[in-house]
Amino acid sequence: MTAHLDTCDRNDVYAAACPCREMLDLLANKWSALAIGAMESGPQRFGELRQTLDGISPKVLSATLKRLEGAGLVDREVFAEVPPRVEYSLTALGLSAADPLAALRDWVEDHVGDHATGSDSPA
């Protein structure tokens, strides 16, 4: 019943054998961070995500969404219409993960271009 998490009683991301390593690897990923952010505003179709996540390929988007779905962060809903429609949305868990991810994206947008290491770039 309970998983065999003997190696990781208290969920330490610094322990290689801890399942949270996988979760960290999933979330600490460019596309995951962007995809989750894109779904904060509500369900998104595949094509919409593909446009929002500028530069992602359909294969990678599909794989990313599958991983997020497998981790319970994203819900996938298929509408048997024509043309086929699929909507991806955040689960409650995914929604809670969106906060730290948003903080990370925010930091990046805020601090990129700083890098005042002496070799000043033409900002």
Question: Would you count residue 60 as binding a copy of itself (CB under 8 A)?
Answer: no
Which residue, 104, 103, 79, 100, is CA-closest to 89?
79
SS3 of residue 64 by DSSP: helix
User: What does the block give as tokens for 73?
Assistant: 């962060």
Question: Would you count residue 42 as binding a copy of itself (CB under 8 A)?
Answer: no
**Binding partner of residue 15 among a copy of itself, DNA, none, CB cut-off 5 to 8 Å per kind:** a copy of itself
Question: Would you count residue 112 as binding a copy of itself (CB under 8 A)?
Answer: yes
- Residue 45 or 115 with smaller CB distance to DNA: 45
Question: Would you count residue 71 as binding a copy of itself (CB under 8 A)?
Answer: yes
Report the C-alpha gap between 93 and 40 in whole angstroms. Answer: 12
